Amino acid sequence: MSGPIHIQPGETFTLNVGPQHPATHGVLRVKMEMDGEYIVKAETVLGYIHRMHELMGENRTYPQVLPNLSRLDYLGALGYTHGHVLVIERAAGIEVPERAEYIRAITVELNRIASHLFWFGAFVMDLGGFTPLMYAIEDREYILDILEAVTGSRLTYCYYRFGGLYNDVDDDFISATRAFIPRMRKQLKKYDALVTGNIIFRKRLDGIGIIPAEMCRKYGATGPVSRGAGIDFDVRKNEPYSVYSEFDFDTPVYHECDSLARYKVRMDEMEQSLRIIEQGLDKLPDGPIMPKKKPKLIKPPKGDYYQAVETARGSFGIRLVSDGSKNAYRFKLRSPTYSNMSLFDEACEGMLIMDALAMMGSLDLVIPEIDR
């Protein structure tokens, strides 16, 4: 468990990790200058799955952009669509019925658990443990089934509408979600016993992959990456949106700054999401899911609007510059993994390559969301 090693100038070679590599979980390429097993310098190369969603946001009308947002992050898509509908509602001044906001919060949290579960499985698989992935996928399947029944899709949801939802949840959704909560709590204990204490697992993560708080700040890292560096920051708490101020939940924070801290943050977050879902189901009010008065054509007044939401990966922001027409003038997407990944080049200098790849796994990358 040594810290970063300072390398004497000597013979180095270049190693390409990716763009097609199992450890990068997508089309990401890192050009590494190597001294033996140690990284001297790394340069991340992006753009292999760049689709210019921001331009599509400009040349389509507002409702036409709705499906695009779930194509950013296919593991936690609802968080991104939530941010999108919120910024349009803020700009156009659309009131959202309370029931719709509660259902949004419940489904976003379900999606967050699904995203963390997949990350958990893939991350442990990166480190050589295959079995946890099987457990995680099975549990995630329950969530996907629940969400599929109400949204109609399993990954790329287009469930939220400006002002509300596409359709209301039924009793099956409520009972299936209620049944899922105790099951997931039991599973989380199992994961903890299976993985967290494992000596091989800990030796790969404990004290390795240090991302200090100051580095987080300079690069704008958010979400579990910054919470693993002792920063108590969660958009749901700091800048409450939707109905999150109604819920009683904690922000898990660990101060070790290493890969293990980021692992622990996500594992604890699943329990907090379960708490939110539980309270959401208890408090779920009756009523409409779409507002009575809603403009037929969405035309936000001229202006520059910003909305941040806490997705599974961190703070996702949308800047909407409107010129008063039915298309956005500028549609900027601030994706959390983009900022989280930008610190990788600096953080991995002097590390062993397998430690750096473990650290990359702990960042929870989804490449289409970086490239947009």
Exactly one of 174, 294, 329, 352 binds other proteins (CB under 8 A); which one? 329
**How many C-beta neighbours within 10 Å does residue 22 have?**
10
Rounded-to-integer distance, Cα 76 and Cα 112, Å? 6
Report if residue 210 touches other proteins, rule: CB under 8 A.
no
**How many C-beta neighbours within 10 Å does residue 103 have?**
24
Report if residue 324 touches other proteins, rule: CB under 8 A.
no
Of 54 and 206, the one with the shorter C-beta distance to other proteins is 54
Exactly one of 70, 151, 339, 362 binds other proteins (CB under 8 A); which one? 339
Subset of 44-63 contacting other proteins (CB under 8 A) = 46-47, 50, 52, 54-55, 58
Report if residue 185 touches other proteins, rule: CB under 8 A.
no
Question: Which helix or strand (DSSP H or E) is residue 260 part of?
Answer: helix 259-283
Contact of 162 with 132, CB cutoff 8 Å:
no
Exactly one of 90, 185, 202, 275 binds other proteins (CB under 8 A); which one? 90
Q: Which residues of 198-216 are buried (b: 16+ CB within 10 A; e: fewer)?
A: eeebbebbebbbbbeeebb
Report if residue 170 touches other proteins, rule: CB under 8 A.
no
Report if residue 232 touches other proteins, rule: CB under 8 A.
yes
User: Among 1-9, 132-140, 254-262, 342-350, which window interacts with other proteins (CB under 8 A)?
Assistant: 342-350
Contact of 221 with 213, CB cutoff 8 Å:
no
User: Among 103-111, 173-181, 226-234, 361-369, which window interacts with other proteins (CB under 8 A)?
Assistant: 226-234
User: Among 13-21, 43-51, 179-187, 275-283, which window interacts with other proteins (CB under 8 A)?
Assistant: 43-51
Report if residue 256 touches other proteins, rule: CB under 8 A.
no
Min dist CB 322 to other proteins, Å, is 11
Rounded-to-integer distance, Cα 234 and Cα 216, Å? 14
Classify 4 as helix, strand or coil. Answer: coil
**How many C-beta neighbours within 10 Å does residue 164 have?**
24
Contact of 279 with 248, CB cutoff 8 Å:
yes
